[in-house]
Structure 1
Amino acid sequence: MTNVKNRDNSTTHRDHVTETRPARKTTELIAYVVTVLAVLVTALVVNDDGDNTVDPFSAEQAMRYITFLTIGYMVARGLAKSGSRGLTRDND
């Protein structure tokens, strides 16, 4: 809470509470991007060995893991924002 003196020497109380940091500035985003890239690289590197066997880590599995990571990231951001206030109050 900040007290500000007005011209007539009365005091105005101002509450400024900021919301959580923007998503691009959080470690969650960095971890999410790195993990998604790791899943994509793994899906590209691990493939069929040439003996007509099934691909052990297919594109379908990679997309499923990326979907799970995206859901987890969205839940993490939602929880972070739910614990913060976006209140800005000025009493003039």
Structure 2
Amino acid sequence: MLNLADVRYFIRDEADDGSVSLEEIFPDLHAGSAICGLRYREEMTQAQLAKKIGVSSRHVSEMENGRRRIDKETAKRLAKILNTTYKVFL
């Protein structure tokens, strides 16, 4: 279980510029986790997201599971549909 006090301590002690990347705090997370979480927030199925960005459901599944690379153009389409910045997926 994540202890927020530990996270605050880590951020305060390790950050040179006052910020810490998501990867440093949660090394097991990847862009696919962001897709899954944002898709859930938007109450969208993999099939619905796939249709909106012009790929197959399998393609979305592979991105979410870290088995498929997300190129910049796909990241931009995802960002538009999922209401975020494309940099989240790169």
Would the TM-score normalized by the shorter structure come out above 0.5?
no
Pick the structure with more helix per residue. Answer: 2
Pick the structure with more strand per residue. Answer: 1
- Compare CA radii of gyration and give the structure with the larger one: 1
Larger RCO (CA within 8 A; separation ≥ 6): 1
TM-score by length of 2: 0.23
TM-score by length of 1: 0.23
